[in-house]
Amino acid sequence: MALTTITPIILCGGSGTRLWPLSRKSYPKQFSKLMGEETLFQASARRLSGGTSEIRFDRPMVLTNSDFRFIVTEQLTEVGIDPGAILIEPEGRNTAPAVLAAALHAAKADPEAVLLVAPSDHVVPDTKAFHAAIQRGLEALAEGKLVTFGIAPTHPETAYGYLELSRSPGEDGKPVPLSRFVEKPDAARAAEMLAAGNYMWNAGIFLFRAAGIIAAFQKHANALMTPVSQAVDKARVDLGFLRLDPEAWAGADDISIDYAVMEKADNLAVVPFADGWSDLGGWDAVWRESGPDSDGVVAQDRATAIDCRDTLLRSESANLEVVGIGLNNIMAVAMNDAVLIADMSRAQDVKLAVAALKDKGADQATTFPKDHRPWGWFESLVVGNRFQVKRILVHPGASLSLQSHFHRSEHWIVVEGTAKVTVDDDVKLLTENQSVYIPLGAVHRMENPGKVPMVLIEVQTGAYVGEDDIVRYEDVYARG
């Protein structure tokens, strides 16, 4: 087989709630280090890079939203991956418009481009086996098929949709025609499908040519063609990102690619995959994938289990220890601002906690305690009635916007690295243990001119210390 170049399409705009409190709308699970030293997004990008003697991965195309665009580029840079186009969705419209936009953009350069669409938050431990499955998928692609990947079920899971194959897959892993999609089943039906042998989990991973999937949209979901085509045609370049046109995009239906196209297509083939996969769709999945010990316990470094069984203990704070005594079938996840404790069997109900917190107006429902920005991040250490204390990290070479505030003054104390500070017409360098005062209304900026991260402590005082009290005059990141 000749070498085939594949363009990965990584979907990176979701904001799942089932892994709360770690995963939140402002910083969802794909950007977290849930299963090792790399984030799920980084691991996904690595898995779709390089190649074999038969396939080569081109630079990935990423679809995300405006809030995550700099996190995407930062995390790809950390693992040495240079992205191709990064398409910014003006608002989430589910996977069908996103996939169509990617295909239309790719088709401008090559209508016959081979595209592999994959979520950014899945775990696939055996990359070599996954690449081999992709190679098997190319056989069906050559026959004009749209290809999806089915995961061999290991237990009667009720949280996944299923694929019914026309026959049980063979040991060779060759593509099998799809009979139909099956919605998430109840426990009894899931057990029946597991025993039948010709049902597989729907992983939401697809392989097709750009022209092939566009033709499928024209046939089965033609109403999406005009708004998405216009959103791509009217897209504008912004700091290296490609912003889809918001007015056109708003006219696209909010619908998944399964409902819009795949369930209606008659040329779908399924590549079976039995070498390990998880979408980490709940803390019970994290527990399974983390490798419980002989007592069924998974305890992170900052967690201690005493006489526990079938339990997950995690602390996401460097200064917070979690201790469990005599627990059975419990998951406990602690962060600086929120703690989840639940029976493992209720893992899929964590979303109910998020809904309850939203109803009571708690910031913890959606807002991550560490606020990531294009230049670095900050976290609030103490918040009072008329003051706030923050820790701020600025990446080497990065700078905050030139700004002022109506309601607060600030004190900055450098604790690591060197800061270049502008206060009105005064510009100075501050090193560790040096500080500066920013009067209310002063036009100011902080920059990191060094080669290591700069960390400072900021003390804000005033009648109002909210994040919206900012007037920006200059911003290299083109924020409003």
> Mean pLDDT, 10 residues at a time, over the chain (480 residues)?
89 85 91 90 94 90 92 92 93 94 96 96 93 94 94 90 91 90 92 93 95 96 97 92 96 95 94 92 93 96 96 94 98 95 95 95 90 90 93 95 95 97 96 96 96 96 90 80
DSSP 230: H
**Helix and strand totals (H; E) in the chain:** 11, 29
Q: Strands, E, within 199-321: which ranges?
A: 199-209, 236-238, 241-243, 268-273, 297-299, 303-306, 311-315
**Nearest to 364, CA basis, from 6, 20, 102:** 20
Q: Compute the CA torsion angle 403, 405, 410, 415 (nearest 10 deg).
A: -30
> What are the b/e assignments for 149-183, b being 16+ CB within 10 Å?
bbbbbeebbebbbbbbbeeebeeebebbebeebbe
Determine the Cα–Cα distance for residues 296 and 424; give it in Å rounded to an integer.
60
Q: What is the pLDDT of residue 477?
A: 80
Determine the Cα–Cα distance for residues 471 and 466; give it in Å rounded to an integer.
12
Q: What is the pLDDT of residue 123?
A: 93
Determine the Cα–Cα distance for residues 202 and 160; give it in Å rounded to an integer.
7
Determine the Cα–Cα distance for residues 21 and 307; give it in Å rounded to an integer.
25
Q: What is the pLDDT of residue 361?
A: 94
242 with 85: CB under 8 angstroms?
yes
First to last CA, the chain: 51
Determine the Cα–Cα distance for residues 300 and 22; give it in Å rounded to an integer.
14
Q: What is the pLDDT of residue 1?
A: 57
Contacts of 156 (CB under 8 A, 6+ apart): 187, 190, 191, 193, 194
174 with 128: CB under 8 angstroms?
no
Q: What is the pLDDT of residue 479?
A: 65
Q: What is the pLDDT of residue 51?
A: 82
Q: What is the pLDDT of residue 386?
A: 93
> Which amino acid makes up residue 464?
Y
Q: What is the pLDDT of residue 394?
A: 96
